[in-house]
Amino acid sequence: MGQARFQDGKTTASHVVELHWDIEQLRIVAMDGGAELARWPLDQIRQVNMPGDDGRIRLALGHEPGARLLVSDSLDRDQVLGRCPNLAIKPEREKGWWRGYAFWGSAAILSITGLFLFVIPALSGVIAGFVPMEWERKFGNTAEEQILTGLSKLEKKPLGQMTCSTPAGDQALEKLLASLTGGYGDRSQLSVKVVDTKVPNAFALPGERILILRGLLDLADGPNGVAGVLAHELGHVQERHVMSNVIETSATSLLLGLVLGDVTGGALLVGVGETALNSAYGRDKERAADDYAIERMTEAGFDPAPLGDLLTRLSGESGNIDEYLVWASSHPATSERLAVIRESSMGGGQALNETEWQALKNICNPE
């Protein structure tokens, strides 16, 4: 008979007790007063921890939560190990115990997957409106760097030589922007660059950035087609369609990032440039950008019909140049869109005079 500590599981009090070993049971008796606190059948006593370095053993009655007995006396430890036959028996699990875990685990996985694959894409436009512009500009900087790096490899040119600028070309581009941004608002952060590559493309990036590729200027037969494409991209920027598309198309990457431990958003940043190149806008976004372009062109006194002509020519280029780099692949020129653009034409003048147009067209070829 030795001393131990007993907790009844009902209060936090710990009692110093004596252990009385009978043939089939253990009686736990309080040292102060001699009251019997519990009787435990020997075959129902379970060990709930491995003995520590100090040799103490923690015991419980069965596998239910509740009373605990801490045995430290060496004689009592010997009694425990010698007279309690079922110390190490694990609780038996009922048949089908796993079904509840499987159900709720599957439900949680499906909920998270549905959130990223369906809910977030469906609400991407709303979510984009809450993205701080500082964050969006960070995405835009990363996307521009990735795209310019990729195009520099395609053209086998140094990265520092990929953007084009001449005094006359810059002046012509600024004239276009000034004509098309009457209702844009603050354009202090708006960046429009011409990139020296044969690829016929133009696209908006997050953070009020637009890239016009030289191939588009080469393909156009006049300034109004380029003005229309630029106005269209301004529409995407104005409505924050670009960030919405990044959120929508990157939801899967975010889901994989959470699963694989990338909680910093690095996976999204890595692919944001590719997303900007490859992501096709939905019909509603394209229609809204077309409407914006037509409105801006009309208010500026420019004929928007050449935009439709340039779209047709761009669509014809898809078979000659990698499709993912062609403007028409991410801005599909459906017959409906072309009809609306052409029918909206009420005539109008040229966005640039011939001298200005040639300056813009040759902005990548300084003399």
Q: Which DSSP string corresponds to 277-338?
A: HHPPPPHHHHHHHHHHHHHHHHHHTB--HHHHHHHHHHHHGGGTS-GGGSHHHHS---HHHH
Residues 206-257 pLDDT 10s: 888 999 999 999 999 999 999 999 999 998 888 887 777 776 666 555 544 4
pLDDT band at 131 (very low <50, low <70, confident <90, very high): confident
pLDDT of residue 325: 44
153 and 62 part of one domain: no
More confident residue, 354 or 185: 354
Residue 45 has pLDDT above 60, yes or no: yes
Domain boundary among 83, 112, 143: 83
73 and 142 part of one domain: no
79 and 197 part of one domain: no
Q: Which amino acid is at 237?
A: V
* 101-105, 221-225, 261-265, range with the lowest pLDDT: 261-265
pLDDT of residue 162: 92
Residue 95 has pLDDT above 80, yes or no: no
pLDDT of residue 194: 95
Which residues, other chains included, contact 24 with Cβ-Cβ below 8 Å and sequence gap of 6+?
41, 42, 43
* 300-309, 319-328, 351-360, range with the lowest pLDDT: 319-328
23 and 159 part of one domain: no
Which structural domain range is residue 303 located in? 133-239+273-361
Burial pattern 302-335, b for ≥16 Cβ within 10 A else e, equals bbbbbbbbbbebbbebbeebeeebbbbbbbebee
More confident residue, 261 or 276: 276
Q: How many domains are there within the chain?
A: 2
Q: Is residue 244 part of a domain?
A: no
Residue 266 has pLDDT above 50, yes or no: no
Q: Nearest CA to 268 among 206, 330, 212, 210? A: 206
Q: What percent of the chain has pLDDT over 90?
A: 18
Q: Is residue 217 part of a domain?
A: yes
Q: Is 31 in a helix, a strand, or coil? A: coil
36 and 156 part of one domain: no
Residue 159 has pLDDT above 80, yes or no: yes
73 and 149 part of one domain: no
198 and 303 part of one domain: yes
Q: Is residue 78 part of a domain?
A: yes
Q: Which DSSP string corresponds to 73-91?
A: -HHHHHHHHHH-TTTTPPP
66: domain CATH number? 2.30.29.30
Rounded CA separation 323/325 (Å):
5
pLDDT band at 164 (very low <50, low <70, confident <90, very high): very high
146 and 53 part of one domain: no
pLDDT of residue 126: 58
Q: What is the DSSP letter of 346?
A: -
Token look-up 């300034």 returns: 223
Residue 275 has pLDDT above 50, yes or no: yes
The pLDDT of 256-273, averaged and rounded, is 44
72 and 137 part of one domain: no
DSSP 3-state percent helix, strand, coil across the chain (nearest 5): 55, 15, 30
- Mean pLDDT of all residues in the chain? 77
Q: Is residue 111 part of a domain?
A: no
Q: Is residue 267 part of a domain?
A: no
160 and 22 part of one domain: no
Q: Is residue 191 part of a domain?
A: yes
More confident residue, 148 or 107: 148
pLDDT of residue 259: 47
Rounded CA separation 290/307 (Å):
10
144 and 67 part of one domain: no
The pLDDT of 128-132, averaged and rounded, is 69
pLDDT band at 183 (very low <50, low <70, confident <90, very high): low
Q: Is residue 105 part of a domain?
A: no
pLDDT of residue 356: 95
More confident residue, 53 or 309: 309
Dihedral (Cα; 221, 358, 302, 210), 10-degree rounding: 90
Q: Is residue 260 part of a domain?
A: no
pLDDT of residue 366: 74
Domain boundary among 43, 66, 83: 83
